[in-house]
Amino acid sequence: MKTLFLIGIGAGDPEHITVQAINALNRVSVLFVLDKGHVTEDLVRLRLQICERYIRKPNYRVVQACDPVRDSAKASYTQGVEDWHEQRAEVFTRLIDDELADGESGAFLLWGEPGLYDSTLRILERVRANGCSDFDYHVIPGISSVQALAARHRIPLNGIGQPIRITTGRRLVAEDLDNVVVMLDAHCAFQAFVQENVDIYWGAYLGTEDEILISGKLADVCDRIKLTREGARSRKGWIMDTYLLRRRIDTSH
């Protein structure tokens, strides 16, 4: 039986790695790296640095494969994601069939937490549904960008006795603004709510040497975040950011 590990490696700081993740890395025969091209060379390099730092006996193989690009031009977002997942499932199937021998263990190193806004678990289920089932897999949790954001801004995620919502930029609505973390926002959805009495806690490249943090009343820092974000993305070719919006409590009564 072949074995796969989906290892959460944190938001960007190599010291986010857990003991459980280190132990899993040291069982791995093959490290799978999905390459999105020169734009994300930093992400590939960070993964390899983590392996060099924590794997005690470097007798593993590194296998790189091109990661399909989602077609964002499709009219249906859902269909575009479905097609992308199917393409990725084909890549995963080939890697499992061709690069992992019976009895070997392979690993995908995943940013943040594998169970939070990451498609790998869904893709492995699709791989199995498509007929490739001669493998087992284990999920190793990691520190998410949500946790890293709260820690770096030194804030609790939730108010006292209050819920917190985690959503994407395309799903952000005014009713969420009491306490909401937003991920996967390529279009600065927060700018639609500058008239609301809310604070924003924003972070990009969390845990890395390029980390950027901005916080304050949304109306005051909205333009600064947009300009900073665009400048950072232009310099590096990519950006990973997240933010928390929290409605200010009315203390006038």
What's the rounded mean pLDDT across residues 73-79? 74
Whether the pLDDT of residue 5 is over 90: the answer is yes
pLDDT score recorded for residue 67 = 85
Write the pLDDT tens digit of every residue in 50-59: 999 999 988 8
Domain covering 2-143, topology: Cobalt-precorrin-4 Transmethylase; domain 1 (3.40.1010)
Please state, in angstroms and rounded to a whole number, the distance separating the CA atoms of residues 151 and 29: 34
pLDDT score recorded for residue 71 = 75
Class at the top of the CATH hierarchy for domain 146-247 = alpha beta
Residue 92: which of 59, 65, 113, 119 has the closest Cα?
65
Whether the pLDDT of residue 253 is over 60: the answer is no
| Predicted TM-score (pTM) of this structure | 0.91
Whether the pLDDT of residue 60 is over 60: the answer is yes
Write the pLDDT tens digit of every residue in 196-237: 999 999 999 999 999 999 999 999 999 999 999 999 999 998
Give helix 120-129 / helix 77-99 axis angle, nearest 10°.
70
Whether the pLDDT of residue 35 is over 70: the answer is yes
Please state, in angstroms and rounded to a whole number, the distance separating the CA atoms of residues 144 and 240: 12
Cβ atoms of residues 29 and 61 within 8 Å: yes
C-alpha angle with apex 205: 204 to 207, nearest 5 degrees?
120
Write the pLDDT tens digit of every residue in 110-160: 999 999 999 999 999 999 999 988 999 999 999 999 999 999 999 999 988
pLDDT score recorded for residue 37 = 67
Q: What are the extents of the domains in the chain?
A: 2-143, 146-247
